[in-house]
Copies of this chain bind each other. A is one copy, B any other.
């Protein structure tokens, strides 16, 4: 595993074309950690071969590029922007199962139907592979398959964490957990930013945390009045007291005053 040196690399919020679409952020200089990605385990020569099998697409905000229940035709690597992944009940209740950012792999779904829908929150760039070629790709790139297994294992861990949140945490604990997760950098070794932008609406946050929009709003307001966070604007968050947020998110009893 080493830097994919001379190839241009996409920045968050910029499109990526050709081979660059498969690239990922530079590994950390100290620990070599990178966000889990389709190709982060591949050598440069393999990247070129893989790029020939892929198409690069730009998805406009609000556009659905994976539809729950439909036959899976492709698999995707998100290279920029953010997408919401969700499931619906027949009466319209929605559960967002995750937000896909740069490096996220979509379409592992086995069987006859996609288990969820994916919709661009903001402009999204994806690198798309034909599903019929997946077998070929896996056979040709053993490192790719190994990496995919690692990706899936990571997602499974995240899904279990989310089940704990949805099944057993209070609204306050859920929002604290969410804000801390959003503050997590793409490369785990980077320092988490104290200030960041939320690309999703309050409705998205509510549907992700199993709450209503009103409860999300009230809870954020309360965290603000308690000086745990600041909200320069509804979509800008500043973490003012990370320690107390961590303790809240982890489900520790709240200290009494």
Contact = CB atoms under 8 A, between A and B. Distances in A.
Contact of A149 (B148, B162, B209, B210): B148
A117 B252 CA distance: 19
Interface in A153-187: 153-157, 159-164, 166-169
A89 to B, nearest CB: 3
Contact of A166 (B110, B145, B167): B167
B90 A252 contact: yes
Given A87-B160, A145-B145, A253-B91, A167 B210 contact: yes
A168 to B, nearest CB: 4
A161 B97 CA distance: 9
A250 interface: yes
A150 B148 CA distance: 11
Contacts of A111: 157
A144 to B, nearest CB: 11
Contact of A110 (B153, B167, B169): B153
Contact of A109 (B95, B157, B167): B157
Interface in A231-257: 250-253
A250 B153 contact: no
B161 A159 contact: no
Given A97-B163, A160-B97, A89 B153 contact: no
A246 B169 CA distance: 28
A157 B110 contact: yes
Nearest to A36: B110
A250 B108 contact: no
Contacts of A95: 163-164, 167-168
Contact of A160 (B89, B138, B149, B159): B159
A129 interface: no
A109 B153 contact: yes
A115 interface: yes
A152 interface: yes
B155 A156 contact: yes
Contacts of A250: 89-90
A11 B29 CA distance: 53
A99 interface: no
